[in-house]
Every structure is written in structure tokens, then in C-alpha cells.
Amino acid sequence: MLSSHLAGPVLVIGTGLLGTSVGLGLRAKGVHVYLSDISPTAAGVAQDIGAGTLLEHQQIAPELVVIGAPPDVTAALVGDALLAYPNATVVDIASVKGSILAGVLADERLGQSDTSRYVGTHPMAGREKSGPAAARGELFTSMPWVICAHEGAEASRVKAAESLAIDLGATMHRMSVTEHDESVALISHFPQAASSMIASRLLNAEGHQLALAGNGLRDTTRIAASDEKLWIQIFSHNAAALVPILTGMKDDLDRLINTLQNPQGPGALLDLSQLMTEGNAGKARIPGKHGAPPQAFALVTVLIDDRPGQIAQLLTEIGDAQINIEDLRMEHSAGHQVGMVDVSVVPGRRDELIDVLTKNGWKVAQ
Ligand SMILES: NC(=O)c1ccc[n+]([C@@H]2O[C@H](COP(=O)([O-])OP(=O)(O)OC[C@H]3O[C@@H](n4cnc5c(N)ncnc54)[C@H](O)[C@@H]3O)[C@@H](O)[C@H]2O)c1
Ligand SMILES: O=C(O)C(=O)C[C@]1(C(=O)O)C=C[C@@H](O)C=C1
């Protein structure tokens, strides 16, 4: 078992997707984890899948308490935990930070020595699913984890919060709550709003239209499946940072509508070209997964028969050719006994991959 920075025990309050993922990740490091949730079922499932031990009537003195509940109850749960466990560091992992810090500092039950043990944090990893059954111990590996220590936080408490991120394999980013909320409004909350709006256009789509859906629609709507109860809280807690970004989008939309109302008009084509090139440039600024520099991988699509062992064979042959796979995705072709595997590789190895696979008899769609 790998050694951990945290000694434990750690108490996770709120054992849904995120809290259970924290429990699973810490258990894999050998840290003792207790689990608690307002829903006995959520806590029970988390225990059953190995995220820790149910907190029932045991008297515990946790080193760290992690609040993994929704944003609207987080500040109150932080306050409860600071009072219930007077020696513990208490962190939350909610997606918004300013409103929660304000709630904790305004809690009249707490003195300065209590709030000095609180550190707000936010792992930038998640899924469009919720609940403990969707949890993964590796969720945070190489993903950013923001630490938003407030002015009154004790250094040793900040270190404990950082130890949690390190033990779970995340990369640490320190910032103020304001910097955090503005950043995530742009890179997380705005994309969620845009994805939900794109998907909501489909409500009245005809079946024959939807039957044509390809990767463009799937790529832009994955997170539209996210939990509505969680996101109404995130949007409303971070409204001030989100409004300017949505206003900028509205201006762009107005400009596009204007241009398309007269697509042969003077400057219209230049306007459309600008929309695309600005989008290309923005996309190129997104770092590669796991913090790597931006890199456009080359995609090779391989057609495989829909029968057992095909993917394993494909991966073995790519491995034998000493070509590293950067990303892998599989799609089924509706109504056909065929699958399509998208293999991403560094651009310099693309032609070689196509050669190897074609020689080995695979059908490669170029
Ligand atoms: N889902 C994501 O992608 C993601 C990513 C990063 C951070 N977060 C943050 O993590 C937190 C949890 O999100 P999630 O996706 O795991 O949600 P979830 O719905 O899967 O889990 C939340 C859990 O909190 C429990 N809970 C609610 N009120 C409680 C209370 N008063 N006391 C104890 N438990 C309570 C619920 O029963 C549920 O099991 C949220 O604050 C969210 O903003 C989510
Ligand atoms: O991958 C996803 O499904 C997510 O939406 C994760 C995501 C994100 O925007 O990156 C969503 C909200 C969280 O606060 C942090 C991470």
C-alpha cells in the first residue's frame, strides 16, 4: 500500500459522487475513513463499495473532515463539524467558494479559533453523474485541485488540506475565493450553461433529425446530463461571476444572428471567419489533459467487428508497434454489427499507425 501524507482518520460527510470518490482514493492509500450522509442509503452504498466505515455511534477524533454535500448546506455542515471535532481540520469540496466562506465566517456559533481550522477547496474533477455508485477512487489523479485558504486559516490546516489533494494524486493550485469563483465561472459554469442550452434546443426535434446525431452533438452535450439540483445551486451561488461571461456570449450571438440575416452582405464572410478563428484560438489555449501543454492529437478511426476480443487485439497490436495511445473512444454504429474506435496519438505517429493497422488487416476510416 502507498504511503500517505494524511495520518487519518478522515471523516467524509456527504457520500455522493465526490465524497465517496475521496473515501475510495484515501482507502487505497491506507487511510482510515469514516462515512456519514443524511441519506443512510448513500452512506451504506459508499461503505459497500469500499470507501470507508459507516459513522454510527463511535466516538472519533478525525484529523480531517471533508464536507462533500451540496453547496447550499455546506457552510452549515462546516460549522457543525468545526464544533463537533475541535481538533480537526475541516475542508469542503464544493464547486463555489466565495458564498461558502462568507457563510462560515458569518456563523455566530464559531469563534476565530474555530474558523482558523477551515480551508475551502475544490477538486476540478467530476462527472455528469451523481451518487456514490458513480464514484471512482482515481477521479482526482493528475486533475487540478484548488486550495482557497482564507486570511485567518492556520498554516498547519492549509497543509492538511493540501495533503488531501496530494494523497489523491491531484495537482494543487492556490488562489483566493474571488480568483477561484471567476475562474470556474469561465471554465466550468459557463460550459455547463452552454451545454444545457444546446441540449434544450433538442426538446422539439423530430426523431429523424436526432437519428443523424454524430460526435459534434455528443461532444457538446455530455454535461447537459448533469444533476439539476446541484447545478441550480452552483449557478445561483456564482451568478455575479457568470453574468459578464454570459453577456459576452450574448453579444457574440447577436453579432452572429445579424451576420446570418444577410450572409451575402459586406463583411459577412469575414465576420464568420473571425468567429471560427477566434474559436480555434480559444480551443488551442486549453491545456492538455492532466495539465500537459496544449496538444492537438491526431485521430485515427478504426472499424471493428462487434464481437468479443476485438478491442483487446487492436490495443495489443498498437502496443506491439510501440505507439502510445493518448486517448481512446468507442462508438457503435446504429443498426450495424460494427463499432468504431477513435484512437488518438501524437501527430508524428499517425501515418505509421495507419500503415501498421492497414497492413494487419484493420479497416481504417481516414
Ligand atoms: N459532481 C461534480 O462533478 C463535482 C465536482 C467537484 C465538486 N463537486 C462538489 O461536490 C459536492 C458534492 O457533489 P456530488 O456531485 O458528489 O453530489 P451528490 O449528489 O452525488 O452527493 C451529495 C451527497 O450529499 C448528501 N447530503 C445532502 N445534504 C446533506 C446533509 N445535510 N448532511 C449530510 N449529507 C448530505 C446527499 O445525500 C448526497 O449523498 C458539491 O458541493 C459539488 O459542488 C461536484
Ligand atoms: O467532467 C464533468 O462532468 C464535470 O462537469 C466536472 C466539473 C468541470 O466543470 O470540469 C464540474 C463541476 C465541478 O465543480 C468540477 C468539475
Residues across the chain: 366
Last residue of a domain, one of 277, 308, 334: 277
Tell the residue nearest (CA) to atom 2 of ligand 1. 126
- Please tell me the number of the ligand nearest to residue 188's CA: 2
Distance 223 CA to ligand 2 centre (A): 8
pTM: 0.87
Is 293 part of a structural domain of the chain? no
Distance 109 CA to ligand 2 centre (A): 32
Please check whether residues 270 and 325 belong to one and the same domain. no
Transcribe 44-72 into DSSP letters.
HHHHHTTS-EE-SS-----SEEEE-S-HH
Please check whether residues 339 and 201 belong to one and the same domain. no
Distance 69 CA to ligand 1 centre (A): 4
* Ligand 2 pocket member 188 (CB < 6 A): yes
Tell the residue nearest (CA) to atom 4 of ligand 1. 126
Distance 153 CA to ligand 1 centre (A): 24
Ligand 2 probe mutation, 128, 145, 189, 223, most atoms within 8 A of CB:
223
Is 291 part of a structural domain of the chain? no
Please check whether residues 203 and 334 belong to one and the same domain. no
Q: What is the ipTM of this complex?
A: 0.98
Last residue of a domain, one of 154, 176, 198: 176
Q: How do the pLDDT tens digits run along the chain, 366 residues long?
A: 568 899 999 999 999 999 999 999 999 999 999 999 999 999 999 999 999 999 999 999 999 999 999 999 999 999 999 999 999 999 999 999 999 999 999 999 999 999 999 999 999 999 889 999 999 999 999 999 999 999 999 999 999 999 999 999 999 999 999 999 999 999 999 999 999 999 999 999 999 999 999 999 999 999 999 999 999 999 999 999 999 999 999 999 999 999 999 999 999 999 999 999 999 999 999 987 666 666 667 888 888 887 888 899 999 999 999 999 988 988 765 566 778 888 988 888 888 999 999 999 988 886
- For the chain, helix (H) and strand (E) counts, in that order, are 15, 12
Transcribe 216-277 into DSSP letters.
HHHHHHGGGGS-HHHHHHHHHHTHHHHHHHHHHHHHHHHHHHHHHHSTTSTTHHHHHHHHHH
Q: What is the CATH number of the domain that holds 45?
A: 3.40.50.720
Number of domains within the chain: 3
Last residue of a domain, one of 147, 176, 205: 176
Q: Which atom of ligand 2 is nearest to the CA of 234?
A: 14
Q: What is the CATH number of the domain that holds 311?
A: 3.30.70.260
Q: Cβ contacts of residue 117 below 8 Å, gap of 6+? A: 82, 88, 89, 90, 153, 154, 157
Please check whether residues 167 and 242 belong to one and the same domain. no
* Ligand 1 pocket member 123 (CB < 6 A): yes
Is 288 part of a structural domain of the chain? no
